[in-house]
Amino acid sequence: MGNLSDGIRRLFYKLGFFTVTLRAVGSFLKRWKVSARILVMQILFTFVQAMGIASLLALGIGAAVNVIGLPFLERISQQDLIYSLLIIIITRELGPLLTAFIVIARSATAIATEIAGMVINNEIEAYISVGVDPVEHLVVPRFLGVTVSLVLLNVYFSVFGLAGSYMIARIFNGLPADYYFSNLLQNLTIQDIFIATVKSIAFGMIISIGAVTEGLAVERARTEVPIAGLKAVSHAFAGCIIVDIILSAMYYMVLV
C-alpha cells in the first residue's frame, strides 16, 4: 500500500513539474539565445548521434517484415497486403516505440545523472542565487531537445525501415522502385502519420520530464546519482509502454 501511494505521489509530482515546464517554454523562447547551446547539444546527442543504431535497427526490421511476411501473404494470394503491414509495423507501431527505447537507453540515463550531479555539486542553488531560473535554463532545453529529437528520429527510422524492406524486395523479387513506393504511399494515411507523431511527442515528454525529475530528486549522497539514472530508465520504459497502449487503443477506437 505504501509503494502504491508513493507511486501516485511521484506521478502527480511529475505532472505538476510538466505543467511548470510548459509554462517556462514561453520564457525560454523569448530568451532562447541564452540556453540555445544546451538545446542544440541535446538534439545532437539524442538525434544525430543515435542515427547509426536507429539505421541498423530499422533496416533489420524492414527486411524481416518482408522476409517473414511476404511468403506467408503469397501463399494466401494477398501479397499486396505487405505494404499495409509495413506501414502498420514500422511507421505506426514499432517506429515510435523503438526510437523511444533508443532514446531512453542513451539520453534518459545521461540527463538524470547530469542533473543529479548538478544537485550534488550545489549548481542548482548557484543558478537560483544569481537570478537564473533552473527550469527555464536547464529543464526546458532538454525537454524540447528530447521531444524534437524523438519526432525526427521516428521519421528517420521509418524511412530506413521502408528502405530496408525495399532492398530485400529488389534483391529477391526484382521489384521496381516506382511500383514499391507508389504502393506504400497509397497505403500511408494522414491518420498513420498523425498517430506516429503524437506518440513520438508523448514519449519525448515522458522521457525528458521523468529523467529531469529523477535527477532533481537526489539529496546529497553521490551514491544516489546512478540510482537516479536507473529510476529514470525504468520509469520511462513503463510510462512509454503504458501510453503506447492507450494511444493505440484510442487510434483503433476513434480513427479506424
Give Cβ neighbours of residue 231 (< 8 Å, ≥ 6 apart). 112, 214
Supply 230's cell numbers: 536507473
Average pLDDT of the residues in 73-89: 81
- pLDDT tens, residue by residue, 174-206: 777 788 888 888 888 899 899 999 999 999 999
Given pLDDT bands bounded at 50, 70 and 90, which one contains residue 220? confident
Q: Domain segments of the chain: what residues?
A: 51-255
- pLDDT tens, residue by residue, 27-61: 887 777 767 888 899 999 999 999 999 988 888 88
Cα 89 to Cα 84: distance, rounded to the nearest angstrom = 9
Cα 193 to Cα 183: distance, rounded to the nearest angstrom = 16
Tell me whether residue 229 is exposed, middle or buried, using C-beta atoms within 10 angstroms of its C-beta: 0 to 12, 13 to 18, 19 or more. buried
- List for the chain the helix, strand, coil content (%; round to 5): 90, 0, 10
SS3 label, residue 207? helix
| Amino acid letter for position 16 | G
Rounded to two decimals, what is the model's pTM? 0.89
Give Cβ neighbours of residue 147 (< 8 Å, ≥ 6 apart). 200, 201, 204, 205, 208
